[in-house]
Amino acid sequence: MLDEKECVEPWGRLLGGAHAITTPPFQCDAREILAATQRKVLPIGAARSYGDVCLNRDAGLICTTRLDRLISADWVNGVIRAEAGLTLDALLKIAIPRGWYPPVLPGTKFVTLGGAVANDVHGKNHESAGTFGCHVRRLGLARSDGALVELSETENTEFFAATIGGLGLTGLILWVELQLKPVTSSHIDTETLEVADLDEFFRLAEASSDWDYTVAWVDCLASGKALGRGLFMRGRHAEGGPLRSHGEPHLSVPLAVPSWLLNGATMSAFNAAYRARPWAKGRRLVHYDPFFHPLDFVSNWNRLYGRRGFYQHQSVVPHQAAPATLRRLLGLTAEHREGSFLTVLKLFGDRRSPGLMSFPMPGATLAVDIANQGESTQKLLRAMTDATLEAGGRVYPAKDATMSADAFRRFYPDWQKVEALRDPKIMSDFWRRVAR
User: Average model confidence (pLDDT) for the chain?
Assistant: 93
Binned at pLDDT 50, 70 and 90, residue 3 comes out as low
Share of the chain above pLDDT 70, in %: 97
Residue 173, pLDDT score = 98
Residue 50 — left, alpha, or beta (φ > 0 → left; ψ -120 to 50 → alpha)? alpha
3-state secondary structure of 80: strand
pTM (two decimals):
0.95
Residue 89, pLDDT score = 96
Nearest to 312 by CA among 125, 119, 84, 161: 119
Q: Are 330 and 218 in contact (CB under 8 A)?
A: yes
Helix spans in 363-404 (H):
375-390
Residue 48, pLDDT score = 95
Average pLDDT over residues 78-102: 97
Q: Using CA atoms, how far apart are residues 105 and 113, in angstroms rounded to an integer?
A: 11
Residue 71, pLDDT score = 98
Residue 260, pLDDT score = 64
Q: Which residues in the chain are classed under CATH 3.30.465.10?
A: 70-183
Domain spanning 70-183, CATH architecture: 2-Layer Sandwich (3.30)
Q: Using CA atoms, how far apart are residues 318 and 131, in angstroms rounded to an integer?
A: 17
Strands 394-395 and 310-317: antiparallel
**Distance from the Cα of residue 368 to its chain's centroid:** 13
Residue 352 — left, alpha, or beta (φ > 0 → left; ψ -120 to 50 → alpha)? beta
Binned at pLDDT 50, 70 and 90, residue 286 comes out as very high
DSSP for 384-412, please give it: HHHHHHHTT-EE-GGG-S---HHHHHHH-
Average pLDDT over residues 12-23: 91
Distant-in-sequence, close-in-space partners of 293: CB < 8 Å, separation ≥ 6: 105, 107, 108, 109, 246
Residue 220, pLDDT score = 83
Nearest to 217 by CA among 368, 372, 373, 50: 368
Amino acid of residue 220: C
Residue-wise pLDDT tens digits, 227-281: 999 999 999 999 988 999 876 667 888 878 776 666 777 777 777 787 878 788 9
**What is the DSSP-derived secondary structure letter of residue 132?**
G
Q: Which CATH number fits domain 187-403: 3.30.70.2520, 3.30.565.10, 3.30.420.40, 3.90.25.10?
A: 3.30.70.2520
Q: Which residues in the chain are classed under CATH 3.30.70.2520?
A: 187-403
Q: Using CA atoms, how far apart are residues 365 and 280, in angstroms rounded to an integer?
A: 23
Element (H, E) at 363: strand 363-371
Q: Decide if pLDDT at 1 tops 60.
A: no
